[in-house]
């Protein structure tokens, strides 16, 4: 028999394969609460405009509340035969209140219904992700404040470059996450228009009040074009793009944690909470949480690319291809949420090896730039000449296998006779980081101020 919810045009049931490829209830059940929220706003508007009787609207609202309770208590039965979340809820509503349930779908289509549900879901998820990003920022800023003076090597090309502080390094990610929050906020602002009332694609002849439903659902306003309302998913693409960039930042931090916990680096340690062992090598402590954050980034990228491919060739308005917009999005945003929770836990858990970091910071002649800057500042050498002099001093220190600060004054004067004892005030990793007082620099006093400033802003 045909589907009783839409089958008037059809004399027989769909083929089993057709049912298999067509059904979306296996994943769009996640939109259940948004679907009920949208339906309650819709039927309230229908009653207010006189399109449906008030008594029927009240019965529908009560039935929807009962369905919500069933879903929240896991007593609701989802049926593949009813295709999607919209039909499942409407069918159950018919069982609960009878024929009045049929009035709910007046002046709307599944096209604007799903567009609404998906916007509500995406908006709710952005709000959750924003809170998680804030929590991670706070964890990083707290750790940065505690280690504002902890010296570590700064790298370029993964080679020791100049000394920085651990707090300064962590605050770099606070800045990145702030931009991630900004991108998600921008996406939220643009999606915050209500498509309900666009119907299938052309609007409706019923005297609906789209501004009322938009206001009831917390949207800024209704969408302005009925075709665009049901046909585009750029709000999902923008959210996935922002999520992908956030995932890049998490993955980079995860990669650094993976490196830092190796015996070769030995910069930080993670507790048993965020590591696992080996089934064969009892000595192992593997940073699996960090590795999984790094790995799940690919799933988030994949969802964005998949939806771009789905949407790129679709003529207006709705096509069934767009059913493929949800599964990847649900997975990607859930993955990002899980990664944020794991990363926040790891940041709070990790403990730096202060002595190991400081020793590493002094390797590779990391204060060479400080020496060159001193030559420019004190002896007024052009920087290129200072660079050359410093290079010769580095070569001499390398021959003797000592640090620059261990060269004698005589040895330095052999390369540049005007060097005096004040050169030693800029050599050594403590002097180096303390001198970087420019705004945004790694001087501990800067880091303390920046970290506290972030904590104050995040508290607000």
Count Cα neighbours of 145 within 13 Å in the Cβ-side half-sphere. Answer: 14
Give which of 397, 235, 258 is closest to 329, Cα–Cα: 235
Structure confidence at residue 251 as a pLDDT band (50, 70, 90): very high
Structure confidence at residue 1 as a pLDDT band (50, 70, 90): very low
What number is the average pLDDT over the span 46-70? 98
Residues sharing a CB contact under 8 Å with residue 71, sequence separation 6 or more, in sequence order = 32, 33, 36
Residues sharing a CB contact under 8 Å with residue 220, sequence separation 6 or more, in sequence order = 192, 193, 214
pLDDT tops 80 at residue 3 = no
Average pLDDT over the chain reads 93
Structure confidence at residue 223 as a pLDDT band (50, 70, 90): very high
Structure confidence at residue 16 as a pLDDT band (50, 70, 90): confident
Question: Among 2, 79, 271, 278, which one carries the catalytic annotation?
Answer: 278
Structure confidence at residue 272 as a pLDDT band (50, 70, 90): confident
163 burial type by CB count under 10 A (0-12 exposed, 13-18 middle, 19+ buried)? buried
Structure tokens at 40: 């309650």
Q: What is the pLDDT of residue 2?
A: 45
Question: Can the peptide bond before residue 41 be classed as cis, meaning omega within 30 degrees of 0?
Answer: no
What number is the average pLDDT over the span 359-368? 85
Which residue has better confidence, 295 or 80?
Answer: 295
pTM, to two decimals: 0.91
Active site residue 387: no
Active site residue 279: no
d(CA 446, CA 452): 10
Q: What is the pLDDT of residue 10?
A: 58
Question: Among 12, 157, 279, 438, which one carries the catalytic annotation?
Answer: 157
Encode pLDDT of 204-216 as tens digits: 999 999 999 999 9
Percent of the chain with pLDDT over 70: 94
Q: What is the pLDDT of residue 370?
A: 85
Per the CB < 8 A criterion, the answer to whether 196 and 42 are in contact is: yes
Q: What is the pLDDT of residue 279?
A: 62
Give which of 382, 258, 243, 219 is closest to 301, Cα–Cα: 243
């Amino acid at each position: 028999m045909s589907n009783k919810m839409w089958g008037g045009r059809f004399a027989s049931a769909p083929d089993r394969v057709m049912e298999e490829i067509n059904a979306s209830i296996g994943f769009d059940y996640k939109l259940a609460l948004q679907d009920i929220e949208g339906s309650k706003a819709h039927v309230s508007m229908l009653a207010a405009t006189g399109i449906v009787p008030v008594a029927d609207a009240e019965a529908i609202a009560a039935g929807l509340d009962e369905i919500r309770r069933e879903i929240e208590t896991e007593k609701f039965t989802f049926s593949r035969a009813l295709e999607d979340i919209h039909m499942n809820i409407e069918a159950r509503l018919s069982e609960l209140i009878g024929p009045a349930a049929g009035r709910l779908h007046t002046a709307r289509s599944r096209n604007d219904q799903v567009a609404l549900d998906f916007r509500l879901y995406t908006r709710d998820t952005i709000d959750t992700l924003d809170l998680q990003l804030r929590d991670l920022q706070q964890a990083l800023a707290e750790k940065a404040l505690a280690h504002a003076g902890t010296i570590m090597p700064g790298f370029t090309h993964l080679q020791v470059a100049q000394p920085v502080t651990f707090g300064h390094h962590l605050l770099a990610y606070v800045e990145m996450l702030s931009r991630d929050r900004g991108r998600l906020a921008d996406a939220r602002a643009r999606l915050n228009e209500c498509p309900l009332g666009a119907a299938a694609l052309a609007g409706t002849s019923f005297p609906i009040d789209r501004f009322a439903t938009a206001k009831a659902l917390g949207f800024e306003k209704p969408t302005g074009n009925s075709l665009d309302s049901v046909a585009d998913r750029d709000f999902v693409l923008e959210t996935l793009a922002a999520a992908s960039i956030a995932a890049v930042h998490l993955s980079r931090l995860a990669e650094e944690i993976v490196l830092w916990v190796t015996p070769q680096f030995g910069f930080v340690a993670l507790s048993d909470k965020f590591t696992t062992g080996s089934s064969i090598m009892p000595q192992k402590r593997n940073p699996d949480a960090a590795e999984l954050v790094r790995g799940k980034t690919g799933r988030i990228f994949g969802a964005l690319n998949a939806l771009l491919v789905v949407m790129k060739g679709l003529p207006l308005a709705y096509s069934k291809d767009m059913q493929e917009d949800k599964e990847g999005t649900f997975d990607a945003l859930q993955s990002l949420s899980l990664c944020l929770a794991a990363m926040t836990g790891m940041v709070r858990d990790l403990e730096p090896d202060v002595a190991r970091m400081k020793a590493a910071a002094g390797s590779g002649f990391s204060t060479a730039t400080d020496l060159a800057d001193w030559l420019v500042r004190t002896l007024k050498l052009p920087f290129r000449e200072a660079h050359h002099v410093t290079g010769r001093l580095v070569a001499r220190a390398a021959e003797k296998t000592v640090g620059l600060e261990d060269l004698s004054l005589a040895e330095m004067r052999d390369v540049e006779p005007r060097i005096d004892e004040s050169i030693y005030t800029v050599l050594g990793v403590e002097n180096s980081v303390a001198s970087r007082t420019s705004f945004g620099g790694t001087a501990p006093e800067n880091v303390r101020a920046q970290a506290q400033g972030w904590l104050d802003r995040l508290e607000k």
